Amino acid sequence: MFKRKQDVYQQPGSQVKNAAPKIGKGAVIVIAVIAVIYLLVGSIYSLKENEYAVITTFGVPKVVEESGIHFKMPYVQQLSKVPKTINGFSIGYDSATGETNSSESFMITRDYNFVNVDFYVEYRVTDPTKYLYASESPVAILKNLTQSYIRDTIGLYDVDSVITTGKSEIQASIKEKIVSRLESEDIGIQLVNITIQDAEPPTSEVIDAFKNVENAKQGKETSINKANQKRNEDIPAARAEADETIKTAEAEAEERINEAKGQTARLNELYAEYQKYPLITKQRMFYETMEEILPDMKIIIEKSDGSTQTMLPLESFADFGSGKTASGSTSLTENASSGENGAGTAQE
């Protein structure tokens, strides 16, 4: 009986002793598989098109730019990823919530006015190695430099320029200073752009006043544009009218000159006749003048020598001028002589 019980108690012990080596071998295999998987996972990494990879081997960095699957030695090589894309940060407000950060936006202008100015800064990494190892936090350095140059530049302008007309000039000045400083620092980061998002006085009353000023300036610009448009329309019309007036005046001047030349020629001819026949020419000129003065009058020259009376109707001086009747010429001559003595009379 005792031996049988001993046999029974010995059987389980013998099974445990035989199973122990089997469990140990399985655990080792599992641990080995896990280790291999871990090593494989740690040695494989993927790189996107918008990323740099910096592989550091015993402190020596190497930049990988090609996108895709890459391999590295686990534990020996360290991986750091740096973005290629343009990134940015805000100054003066929280870009996520839109809340104002007065400690960054509150500034003083050259004319001792207060103003809140918000900026947005865009940058990109140009040298991944320097970006990671040349400084502890290159983005923080860029932000500090930007805030410093913003305050220095805003202090050089009056409040009107900061809020309205001088924004582009201020942005360009700040960007130039930061770019120059980053080149000298050489921390692997480059400023792409800096933009004034908003600029306004700290109180609502001042904001309303500046809005009125801005509206007045816009009205001024509108009036100037309308005036320029009116000028551009009126000047060509005035030039055309002036050209027409000049041409009309030139035509009238030419006409008067020709008329004066014609009158001069007539006077020269008349003077030549006068030299030949002075008395007849005087009489002719007299009657022609009277005919022009009294175009609707009928002139009769009456001559009386005591016993006879002579009535001479002078309805046309053309026949007299051509000398058709000698008696008529004599009568006119005598009448002219008598007219000079006050004997002749003119009746209608």
CA 50 vs. chain centroid, Å, equals 37
Residue 53's CB: how many other CB atoms inside 10 A? 21
Cα 197 to Cα 220: distance, rounded to the nearest angstrom: 25
93 pLDDT more than 80: yes
Q: What is the pTM of this model?
A: 0.50
In this structure, are residues 122 and 90 in contact, taking their beta carbons and an 8 Å threshold? no
Per cent of the chain over pLDDT 70 is 74
As a whole number, mean pLDDT of residues 241-260 equals 91
Cα 233 to Cα 236: distance, rounded to the nearest angstrom: 6
Tens of pLDDT, residue by residue over 20-75, are 555 667 777 777 777 666 666 667 777 888 888 888 888 788 888 777 787 777 77
Q: Where are the alpha helices (DSSP H) in the chain?
A: 2-43, 102-105, 128-133, 138-154, 159-160, 167-185, 204-276, 278-293, 318-322, 326-341
As a whole number, mean pLDDT of residues 322-334 equals 42
223 pLDDT more than 80: yes
Higher pLDDT, 60 or 340: 60
Domains of the chain: 13-80 (no CATH), 86-202 (3.30.479.30), 278-347 (no CATH)
Which amino acid type is present at position 312? L
Tens of pLDDT, residue by residue over 102-112, are 889 989 899 88
Cα 33 to Cα 229: distance, rounded to the nearest angstrom: 85
Report CA Rg, the chain.
Answer: 59
In our burial notation (b when 16+ CB lie closer than 10 A, e otherwise), range 190-205 reads: bbeebebeebbbeeee
Angle ∠(185,144,163) on CA atoms, nearest 5: 120
Partner residues linked to 311 by β-bridges? 302
Cα 292 to Cα 322: distance, rounded to the nearest angstrom: 19
Per cent of the chain over pLDDT 90 is 28
**Confidence category of residue 143, pLDDT binned at 50, 70, 90:** very high
Closest CA to 280 of 321, 340, 331: 321
Cα 184 to Cα 190: distance, rounded to the nearest angstrom: 11
Structure tokens at 326: 């000698």
Closest CA to 189 of 254, 118, 140: 140
Structure tokens at 152: 């220095």
